[in-house]
Amino acid sequence: MLRENLQDAAVIIQNILDQPLEVKGKKDGVSLYTAALNYDSQNPSESDLFLILKSFIDYPDPTQTLLRELELLSNDLTL
């Protein structure tokens, strides 16, 4: 059962990281994974990661849903 939970959690987390997100100012979707990989610490306020995090602030309802899902995953993995 624990192995199934781990595999399910891994798939969900991979989907969260790889899912293209619509971000204001970007023509194409940007995933959290690619935004993290391409993060430019020399110019953080113009990075895709900055734009994603700003979207999290601008749209709190979807952000809360994401946080609840991550919390549920965390709970499943710690039981």
Cβ-contact 38, 30 below 8 angstroms: no
Per-residue pLDDT of the chain (79 residues; tens, 9 = 90+): 677 878 888 999 999 999 999 888 888 899 999 999 999 999 999 899 999 999 999 999 999 999 999 999 888 888 6
Q: Can you give the pLDDT at residue 5?
A: 78
Q: In angstroms, rounded to a whole number, what is the distance separating the alpha carbons of residues 19 and 12? A: 10
Q: Can you give the pLDDT at residue 76?
A: 81
Q: Can you give the pLDDT at residue 79?
A: 64
Give this prediction's pTM: 0.82
Q: Can you give the pLDDT at residue 6?
A: 83
* Those residues with Cβ within 8 angstroms of residue 50's Cβ, 6 or more apart along the chain or in another chain: 44
Q: In angstroms, rounded to a whole number, what is the distance separating the alpha carbons of residues 55 and 20? A: 13
At 9, which amino acid appears? Answer: A
